[in-house]
């Protein structure tokens, strides 16, 4: 992949508002590409249509409100990604993130615990990286555990480069969130 920057991507994508399936092959390859494309197919099949929101960023909604975001890198120092979790080498490709908007997580907390998904969530939180205006981060109780220094400006549930097992868990979390929203 040639060098790119966020302004070029934004300019190009703003005009066409591309489907994420059309952009993924530019950034992901191998198993990572397959996993991402399968995930996108799954959310479409389950009435959570991803729509373009900004450069290399799509939001999937359910019942009129975002339920997850999918991000691809915009450049090698993309601050949307936790730099310590990026793979070595070319940090501008073969990497993606799914962030979940679990607004009703407290309603299905016991199911998460019974199904053993809590560690997956606790291991994939977005902590404050001292950006402005976030620093110093906030504390929040998530699944009965007090978590300190979470980013103020982002949903806390970020899954970096999820493998098939993790995507399977993400699908389950989305299913639980959809059921909670449907019961409102």
Phi, psi of 34, deg, nearest 5:
-60, -45
b/e map 71-82, b = 16+ CB within 10 Å: bbbbbeebebbb
The predicted structure's pLDDT at residue 126: 86
Number of Cβ atoms within 10 Å of the Cβ of 88: 5
The answer, yes or no, to whether the previous bond of 45 is cis (omega within 30 of 0) is no
pLDDT tens digits for range 116-158: 999 999 999 988 776 666 667 888 999 999 999 888 878 899 9
Residue 68 above 70 pLDDT? yes
* Between 75 and 23, the higher pLDDT residue: 23
Tell me if 37 sits within 8 A of 68, measured CB to CB. Answer: no
Q: Model pTM greater than 0.75? A: yes
């Amino acid at each position: 992949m040639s060098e790119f920057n966020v302004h070029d991507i934004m300019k190009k994508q703003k005009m066409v508002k591309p489907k994420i399936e059309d952009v993924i092959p530019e950034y992901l390859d191998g198993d990572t590409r397959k996993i991402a494309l399968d995930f996108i197919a799954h959310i479409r099949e389950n009435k959570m249509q991803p729509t373009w929101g900004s450069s290399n960023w799509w939001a999937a909604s359910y019942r009129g409100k975002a339920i997850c975001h999918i991000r691809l890198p915009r450049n090698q120092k993309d601050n949307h990604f936790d730099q310590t979790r990026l793979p070595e080498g070319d940090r501008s490709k073969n990497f993606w993130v799914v962030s979940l908007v679990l607004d009703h997580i407290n309603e299905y907390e016991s199911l998460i615990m019974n199904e053993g998904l809590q560690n997956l969530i606790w291991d994939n939180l977005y902590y404050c990286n001292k950006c402005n205006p976030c620093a110093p981060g906030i504390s929040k109780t998530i699944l009965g555990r007090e978590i300190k220094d979470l980013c103020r400006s982002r949903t806390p549930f970020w899954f970096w480069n999820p493998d098939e097992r993790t995507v399977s868990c993400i699908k389950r979390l989305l299913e639980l969130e959809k059921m909670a929203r449907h019961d409102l």
